Amino acid sequence: MAFVVLLTLVVNVLQLAAAKDATDPATTTAGAVMDGVQVLYNNDGENLWAVQSPYHDRATPVTAEDIRGSVDDVKGVADVDLICPFHNVPWWNSTLEPPSRHRDWYDRTFGFPWGHGGSQLDFVLKGGDFIGTFADEAVRTEQKPFIAIR
């Protein structure tokens, strides 16, 4: 558990550092990142794929607009929008676990394509930047973007 918290803080400090002056420790320390946080919204992404929602039609593939809609859903409510890619699936172009390798393993292991071509992973495999789109929209709506791996 401590590793996940530490990894989450490191990822978010790096993201915020990229968006702000990375040389200013007042904006990039863990304390600065958490300053003013009262509500943390934990989103595992199911609202972007497995269920019908106001911003995503379950019968269609995940799009950048869907990701932004998910973030907008809690703007003004959450100080931190925490996305938790489920099943250890990389929703970015990981070099440690490339999305295409993960997809091949899943399909071989379970005998059917996960997401049927419309999942968050498929969005990445088609060239989309899930985490970047999520983080950009969170910053735009004055939420702190956090990413947790579980």
Decide if 55 contacts 73 (C-beta within 8 A).
yes
DSSP 3-state assignment of 101?
Answer: helix
User: How is the beta sheet containing 144-147 ordered, strand by strand?
Assistant: 40-43, 80-83, 144-147
Question: 3-class SS at 144?
Answer: strand
- The answer to whether the predicted template modeling score (pTM) of the entire model surpasses 0.85 is no
CA pair distance 89, 106, nearest whole angstrom: 10
pLDDT tens-digit series, residues 45-96: 888 888 888 888 888 899 999 999 999 999 999 999 999 887 677 888 888 8
